[in-house]
Amino acid sequence: MAHTILEMKDITKTFPGVKALQNVNLQVNRGEVHAICGENGAGKSTLMKVLSGVYPHGTYEGDIVFENDVMSFSGIRDSEKSGIVIIHQELALSPYLSIAENIFLGNEQSKRGFIDWDSTNQEAAKLLARVGLKENPITPVSQIGVGKQQLVEIAKALSKDVKLLILDEPTAALNDDDSAHLLDLISHLRGQGITSIIISHKLNEIKAIADKVTIIRDGRTIETLDLQEDEISEERIIKGMVGRDLESRYPDRTPAIGDEVLRIEDWTVHHPQDPNRVIVDHANLNVRAGEVVGIAGLMGAGRTELAMSVFGRSYGKGITGKLYKNGSEIRAHSVKEAIGHGLAYATEDRKQFGLNLIEDIKRNISMAALGKLARGGFVDAGRETVVANDYRKSMNIKAPNVEAVTGKLSGGNQQKVVLSKWMFSDPDVLILDEPTRGIDVGAKYEIYTIINKLASEGKAVIVISSELPELLGICDRIYTLSEGRITADVPIAEANPEVLMQYMTKEKD
């Protein structure tokens, strides 16, 4: 019989105002590949951070039992000492150090305080052989591709006598060949007695290599399915991932849809650093006046990249395709041109890309259309204040005045400042990327109301969201995106989470 290597019991993790995990249970047997599935934001990564000590003992409730001992990790080093190694989605390699140096980073092969280079390189070569990577250990990591870098990470884990290997979306950035090799390696390691936990939303991969799958939704464990014993279909897993009620959290609206405002034709975008990687693949979509169109896609599907490349080519290289506004082709090679054509893009990451956090509300609101307030190159500060104050009232931004610094506002109020900024630029098309990410339920309702109002004013609105219920609640039509391709254009009447999730996970033929 199988022996339990890891048991996480009743794990609850609270962030200020949010319960990220609620009584989550996870049981992993020795020598199995255990997959964890869930929508974006379901709590998968948080759970793994609890397990690996990123969130140290004492910041969560519940117990971690590993090899029959209750663990109290105070950091990653602790968990690694016990044999639990996590490989994050963003690889943690130092690009200019060699493969061997990276493998032994923090764990250097030394004699009397000096690095023993012979042993470093020889041991590294042995580890590389185990993961099937044919590279010289002295090659700098920056000179090998992402797929091989992933293998270096695994070699690094093996060098630490790993017992439990956690892989967070290991194939998200890999091409098909590299993915296949990686999956082979994981099965191979299982043969050597190494247990793996793999977080993935590629259901075909999970079906191919996992023994069991645990589904997490809204911070709770839903179920654990045994893929070996029962015949589990992908649809069955999807049902577990999305099967929540569609809550009536969305304001009513009667759409009044007019003519087409924006059309994107044959839009292809390549990765800015790696010109061979296609990020958006011949995408076609359109949006009409007064229409709210959703874009659904899993992480890495290319949603933000599609939006930003359309918005003045602020993402990507080698962009081809055509943009039509009101039926005629437009050129928007810079953000300024895009704004000039009536486009607006509210970013998913308002702290990094949306706001000047050390500046006040009014200067953030005026930032994208300062010219409207200026005469002869000088800003009319009085009018600016009046305009900002109008938005503060109409958008219900909770701040004593428009001189409040945006960095101190709550997420919902920050988002309203971002929306005000774009509304002031008076666009015809608004692209809203994750407009309700990280904000509370009440503020979400307000944002939906604003979106409805924009649509009723005849603007075309594109909403990108990871939350399917949200898209189903506010959109008239939903495009699904998978691996950079538009896989479906679903009218709201035919849309439900299962249908969308199937298109979102549809592989390339």
Partner 1 sequence: MATIKDGVDFLASRLRQIGIFLALIVIIALFQVLTGGSLLQPANVTNIVVQNSYILILAIGMVMIIIAGHIDLSVGSVAAFVGAMSGVMITQWGWPWWAGILGGLVVGALVGAWQGFWVAYIGIPAFIVTLAGMLLFRGLTQMVLGNQQITPFPTEYRQLGGGFVFPELFPAATSPMEWITVGLGVIATVLLVSQQVRARAHRVKLGLEDEPLAWFLIKLLFLGGIILAITFLLASFRGTPIVLVVLGVLIVVYTAVMNRSVFGRHVYARGGNQHAAELSGINVKKVDFYLFVNMGVLAALAGLVFTGRLNSAGPGAGNLFELDAIAAAFIGGAAVSGGVGTVVGAITGGLIMGVLNNGMSLMGIGTDTQQFIKGLVLLLAVAFDVWNKRRNRG
Q: Which is nearer to partner 1, 126 or 351 (CB)?
A: 351
Q: Which is nearer to partner 1, 82 or 389 (CB)?
A: 389
Taking the C-alpha atoms of residue 337 and residue 28, their distance in angstroms, rounded to an integer, is: 54
Q: How far is the CB of 385 from partner 1 (least distance, A)?
A: 6
Q: Which is nearer to partner 1, 49 or 363 (CB)?
A: 363
Q: Which span sits near partner 1 by CB under 8 A: 17-25, 34-42, 277-285, 331-339? A: 331-339
Instruction: Rule CB under 8 A: say whether 192 interacts with partner 1.
Output: no
302, 313 Cβ separation under 8 angstroms: no
Q: How far is the CB of 377 from partner 1 (least distance, A)?
A: 5
Q: Which is nearer to partner 1, 64 or 373 (CB)?
A: 373
**Of 108, 112, 157, 109, nearest in space to 130 by CA:** 157
Choosing from 187, 334, 394, 496, the residue that interacts with partner 1 (CB under 8 A) is: 334
* Adjacency order of strands within the sheet including 195-199: 84-87, 164-168, 195-199, 33-37, 212-217, 220-226
3-state secondary structure of 209: helix
172, 300 Cβ separation under 8 angstroms: yes
Q: How far is the CB of 333 from partner 1 (least distance, A)?
A: 12
Going by the DSSP 8-state scheme, the letter that residue 367 receives in this structure is G
Number of residues that bind partner 1 (CB under 8 A): 37
Q: Would you tell me the crossing angle of helices 146-159 and 117-131 to the nearest 10 degrees?
A: 110
Q: How far is the CB of 351 from partner 1 (least distance, A)?
A: 9
Taking the C-alpha atoms of residue 24 and residue 226, their distance in angstroms, rounded to an integer, is: 18
Q: How far is the CB of 391 from partner 1 (least distance, A)?
A: 15
Site for partner 1 in 287-316 (CB under 8 A): 311-312, 314
The dihedral region occupied by 185, where left means phi > 0, alpha psi between -120 and 50, and beta the remainder, is alpha
Instruction: Rule CB under 8 A: say whether 440 interacts with partner 1.
Output: no
Q: Residue 360 corresponds to which tokens in the numbers above? A: 């006040």
Query: Please, what's the b/e burial string for 151-172 (b: 16 or more CB within 10 A of its CB; e: otherwise)?
Result: bbbbbbbbbbebbbbbbbbbbb
Q: Which span sits near partner 1 by CB under 8 A: 88-96, 205-213, 275-283, 379-387? A: 379-387
Taking the C-alpha atoms of residue 482 and residue 300, their distance in angstroms, rounded to an integer, is: 8
Q: How far is the CB of 123 from partner 1 (least distance, A)?
A: 38
Q: Which is nearer to partner 1, 81 or 351 (CB)?
A: 351
Q: Pairing between strand 84-87 and 110-111?
A: unpaired
Instruction: Rule CB under 8 A: say whether 377 interacts with partner 1.
Output: yes
Q: Which span sits near partner 1 by CB under 8 A: 185-193, 208-216, 360-368, 453-461? A: 360-368
Instruction: Rule CB under 8 A: say whether 374 interacts with partner 1.
Output: yes
Q: Which is nearer to partner 1, 191 or 382 (CB)?
A: 382
Q: How far is the CB of 387 from partner 1 (least distance, A)?
A: 11
Instruction: Rule CB under 8 A: say whether 371 interacts with partner 1.
Output: yes
Site for partner 1 in 386-405 (CB under 8 A): 386, 389, 401-403
Choosing from 358, 393, 493, 509, the residue that interacts with partner 1 (CB under 8 A) is: 358
3-state secondary structure of 55: coil
Write the CB contacts of 455 (distance below 8 Å, at least 6 apart in sequence).
Answer: 253, 255, 290, 291, 292, 461
**Hey, which residues does 165 pair with through a beta bridge?**
85, 196
Site for partner 1 in 406-425 (CB under 8 A): 421
Instruction: Rule CB under 8 A: say whether 385 interacts with partner 1.
Output: yes
Instruction: Rule CB under 8 A: say whether 382 interacts with partner 1.
Output: yes
Q: How far is the CB of 173 from partner 1 (least distance, A)?
A: 22
Taking the C-alpha atoms of residue 119 and residue 110, their distance in angstroms, rounded to an integer, is: 8
Taking the C-alpha atoms of residue 148 and residue 137, their distance in angstroms, rounded to an integer, is: 12
Q: Which is nearer to partner 1, 339 or 451 (CB)?
A: 339
Taking the C-alpha atoms of residue 391 and residue 406, their distance in angstroms, rounded to an integer, is: 14
Instruction: Rule CB under 8 A: say whether 328 interacts with partner 1.
Output: no
Q: How far is the CB of 4 from partner 1 (least distance, A)?
A: 45
Q: How far is the CB of 471 from partner 1 (least distance, A)?
A: 23
**Of 387, 5, 431, 423, nearest in space to 194 by CA:** 5
Query: Please, what's the b/e burial string for 313-352 (b: 16 or more CB within 10 A of its CB; e: otherwise)?
Result: bebbeebebebebeeeebebeebeebbebbbbbbbbebee
Residue type, 428: D
Instruction: Rule CB under 8 A: say whether 370 interacts with partner 1.
Output: yes
Instruction: Rule CB under 8 A: say whether 345 interacts with partner 1.
Output: yes
User: How far is residue 189 from each of residues 7, 71, 180, 303, 390, measured CA to CA in Å?
Assistant: 21, 24, 14, 34, 62
Choosing from 174, 361, 368, 451, the residue that interacts with partner 1 (CB under 8 A) is: 368
Instruction: Rule CB under 8 A: say whether 51 interacts with partner 1.
Output: no
Instruction: Rule CB under 8 A: say whether 367 interacts with partner 1.
Output: yes
3-state secondary structure of 125: helix
Choosing from 357, 396, 445, 492, the residue that interacts with partner 1 (CB under 8 A) is: 357
Instruction: Rule CB under 8 A: say whether 347 interacts with partner 1.
Output: yes
Instruction: Rule CB under 8 A: say whether 379 interacts with partner 1.
Output: yes
Instruction: Rule CB under 8 A: say whether 338 interacts with partner 1.
Output: yes
Choosing from 336, 441, 456, 491, the residue that interacts with partner 1 (CB under 8 A) is: 336
Residues at the interface with partner 1 (CB under 8 A): 311-312, 314, 334-336, 338-339, 345, 347, 352-359, 363, 366-368, 370-371, 374, 377-379, 381-382, 385-386, 389, 401-403, 421
